[in-house]
Amino acid sequence: MMRQYELVEKVAAYKPELDEALLNRAYVYAMQKHGSQKRASGDPYFSHPLEVAAILTEMHLDEATIAVALLHDTIEDTDATRKEIDHLFGPKIGQLVEGLTKLKRLDLVSKKAAQAENLRKLLLAIADDIRVLLVKLADRLHNMRTLGPMAPEKRARIAQETMDIYAPLAGRMGMQDMRDELEQLSFRHLNLDAFETITARLAELKDRHAETIAAIERDLTAKLKENGIQATVSGRQKTAYSVFSKMQRKALSLEQLSDIFGFRVIVDGEEACYRTLGIVHRSWPMVPGRFKDYISTPKQNDYRSLHTTIVGPSRQRVELQIRTRAMHEVAEYGVAAHAVYKDRAASGAVHLSKDSNAYGWLRRTIELLASGDNPEEFLEHTKLELFQDQVFCFTPKGRLIALPRGATPIDFAYAVHSEVGDACVGCKIDGRIMPVVTELANGDEVEVITAKGQTPPQAWENIAVTGKARAAIRRAARTQIRKQYSGIGQQILERTFARAGKAFSRDALKPLLGKLGHREIEDALAAVGRGELKSTDVLRAAFPDFQESRVTKAMERAEDEGWFNLRTAAGMIFRMPGRARVKPRRNGNAIPIRGAGDDMPVRFGPDGAVPGDRIVGIIEPGKGITIYPIQSPALTAYDDEPERWIDVRWDIDEAMSERFPARIVLSAKNEPGSLAEIAETIAVNDANIHNLSMVSTAPDFTKMIIDVEVWDIQHLNQTLRQLRAKSCVADVTRVNG
């Protein structure tokens, strides 16, 4: 374990004017707080923050960042408090340490939701100070290096989280060395057999081609020197994970990969990069389609370099990366490179340059936090944004848009602006009208065709690749649904106010919003439309002194009992809040939908209904209530009688052992044993045949209607799936399903 003076010496080696007292205080405080705590390996727990600090010294980070690394687990794992750290080390360091502390006591349904909330908190802290990210990645790197003693399930979970989030995040912020090591360590724990096999093969290839690699380095260095370019040429081998992922992605064997070995050429200036490229292409044949200029069009993580592939001296494909020393520093260390720290506030806070692409991506990701998505959606969107394979497309005015590989014009439209995406109705790619589902390629010029009043189809969510596009489509769908409900709510309120002899206006709702518990008029109207807010409550809020008439009181009682319903000309039901039972007219005892009781008998329509269906009740004078699925065509007969519609819901006791009716239509082969096989299938699935009739019989097929009794909609669907799987059944569907 590194000693206190050794850590100070490491930092002093690259930052002579450091605050040595700060490092000493942080070292001693963290060591005392962690005390006798042990890691899973049995090592002292303090060895972990110390190793995290050591990783950051390799990136030549300032002493404040090193101090945060030493303290990063104190609030989470010891009795240290934010107030105490603020007092001893200053509020800025306290803020950074708190940003690295996982949320505790999360009242969330799933571990995935908890993971998302912790990631949300981390990204917000990163946006405030980039040093949070650097400490977090170093923390994860050391945890991955020491993952061995953990239980297998925990190893797999942490490794998968690292592969899904932290390795891509390091790549997105330009820290390629960090990303490579995180991926390698995760790969080892997630797929040990593949890791060991590929690692062994790569070792064999390295030994076999050692002389060839050395010869290429010598030849290339000499060729550049002849032309007056001083360059450092170094050979490198792809990692086991990058080889494995390329084999998986392109369905290739290891022998078919041509770029396992590559070479980096480091020169003094940008002009020398292009001169080097010209010399290389004049000296050796270039492989068509393999040249990429990331100097003129940098990647979103600020990576800049020239990439080309040539047929080298030994007739072997050789991949070259040509860059300056400054570009190389950014390529290796990303946001940790000194060039990125362009502004340092008086308070000592280090901010990511707002000119950088990495900051732009981070800012766009933070925007998703305000979209109102649930935690799992946020996690999904963030993962989508992290993956780095890109295509570069252009607007008609020449603006460069970088998108993930596989992106469509829908993603392009939302990358230009959310309003452009919402109004998109089509696109042109390189001047030709193309479907919006077309996969974009490098260099495509994309023109988005828009129309006023357009709303993106919800199906686009499954087509879009970027998290920004998916979030915007989902948000537009929510807005559209709210608009529909607010229209319903307005009609309900107009009717309620009219019956009370009062005039309704939207403006009259403005001073009532506080009482009603909503911020905007549209939200209040939508709440009425959804049945979350009673129209009579709005009436009383608007007219506190209003003396309710008998009619108004009857309306309120009807709402409370689930009897007040409206129906539009289009056939949409406006449902007011109702209980989960059908309510009787004369007393307070509830009648379960499943049976009959008191003076209000309940029965099902001819096609039945099962728990899981959305249902509606129709009052039959002298007969009681008939229950129909909401999609039943029989309901059209009552379009002009809205007073007979009532809101009903299922009131099912889990302990209840009763089946419910559903009608199915089945076409079976006309052969001996078919009916027996159908009956047996229904019986095996614990359903019951209540009635069966042959509708028509042909030489080959018989059509029959079967009334079955099942527990609920899942049970019915399972029974239908089993019937469809039978060779004697040509087709089976639910009536009105």
End-to-end alpha carbon distance in the chain? 68
* DSSP β-ladder status, 565-567 and 317-324: unpaired
The alpha carbon of residue 62 and the mean position of all alpha carbons in its chain are separated, in whole angstroms, by: 34
In sequence order, the 6+-apart residues with CB closer than 8 A to the CB of 22 are: 63, 64, 67, 89
Cα 414 to Cα 460: distance, rounded to the nearest angstrom: 12
For the domain covering 196-336, report its CATH number. Answer: 3.30.460.10
Residue 467 carries which side chain, given as an amino acid letter? G
In sequence order, the 6+-apart residues with CB closer than 8 A to the CB of 602 are: 582, 591, 592, 593, 594, 595, 596, 617, 624, 625, 626, 627
pLDDT of res. 48 = 93
Of the candidates 19, 43, 76, 161, the residue annotated as catalytic is: 76
CATH 3.30.70.260 fits 660-734, yes or no: yes
Cα 237 to Cα 644: distance, rounded to the nearest angstrom: 77
Same fold, 196-336 and 660-734: no
Cα 357 to Cα 298: distance, rounded to the nearest angstrom: 8
pLDDT of res. 138 = 92
Cα 35 to Cα 49: distance, rounded to the nearest angstrom: 13
In sequence order, the 6+-apart residues with CB closer than 8 A to the CB of 211 are: none
Task: Using the structure block, give the residue that is written with the tokens 């800025």.
Answer: 92
The four Cα atoms 529, 532, 538, 540 give a dihedral, to 10 degrees, of 140
Query: Is 155 within 8 Å of 174 (Cβ atoms)?
Result: no
Q: Is 389 a catalytic residue?
A: no
Q: Is 76 a catalytic residue?
A: yes
Low-confidence ranges of the chain (pLDDT < 70): 102-128, 255-256, 258-259, 313-314, 335-390, 546-600, 621-622, 642-643, 653-656, 737
* pTM reported for the whole predicted model: 0.54
Query: Is 420 within 8 Å of 456 (Cβ atoms)?
Result: no
CA distances for 156 relative to 112, 141, 183, 254, angstroms: 15, 15, 13, 26
Query: Is 638 within 8 Å of 565 (Cβ atoms)?
Result: no
The two tokens of residue 101 are: 């502390």
pLDDT in tens, 8-42: 899 999 888 888 999 999 999 999 999 889 998 88
Computed on alpha carbons and rounded to an integer, the radius of gyration of the chain in Å comes to 34
Cα 188 to Cα 599: distance, rounded to the nearest angstrom: 70
Percentage helix, strand, coil for the chain under 3-state DSSP, each rounded to 5: 50, 15, 35
The fold for domain 4-189 equals Hypothetical protein af1432 (1.10.3210)
Partners of 667 in beta bridges? 703, 731
The two tokens of residue 578 are: 């109702």
Judged by DSSP in three states, 467 sits in helix
Of the candidates 19, 43, 77, 560, the residue annotated as catalytic is: 77
Query: Is 659 within 8 Å of 710 (Cβ atoms)?
Result: yes
- Reported for 369-375, long-range contacts at CB under 8 A and 24+ positions apart, including other chains, are 369/120, 369/123, 369/124, 371/471, 371/472, 371/474, 371/475, 372/475, 372/478, 373/471, 373/474, 374/113, 375/108, 375/112, 375/113, 375/114, 375/116, 375/117, 375/120
pLDDT of res. 651 = 74
Q: Residue 17 burial by CB count (10 A; 0-12/13-18/19+): exposed, middle or buried?
A: exposed
Cα 227 to Cα 283: distance, rounded to the nearest angstrom: 12
In sequence order, the 6+-apart residues with CB closer than 8 A to the CB of 158 are: 143, 144, 147, 150, 189
Cα 391 to Cα 440: distance, rounded to the nearest angstrom: 7
Domain extent listing, the chain? 4-189, 196-336, 562-657, 660-734
Residue 722 carries which side chain, given as an amino acid letter? Q
Residue 623 carries which side chain, given as an amino acid letter? K
Residue 454: DSSP 8-state: -
Cβ of 700: how many Cβ atoms within 10 Å?
A: 10
The two tokens of residue 621 are: 């004078």
SS (H, E, C) 176-208: HHHHHHHHHHHHHHHCHHHHHHHHHHHHHHHHH
Query: Is 612 within 8 Å of 585 (Cβ atoms)?
Result: no
The two tokens of residue 324 are: 């300056």
Give the DSSP letter string of 86-126. HHHH-HHHHHHHHHTSPP-S---SSHHHHHHHHHHHHHHHH
Partners of 445 in beta bridges? 394
pLDDT of res. 679 = 92
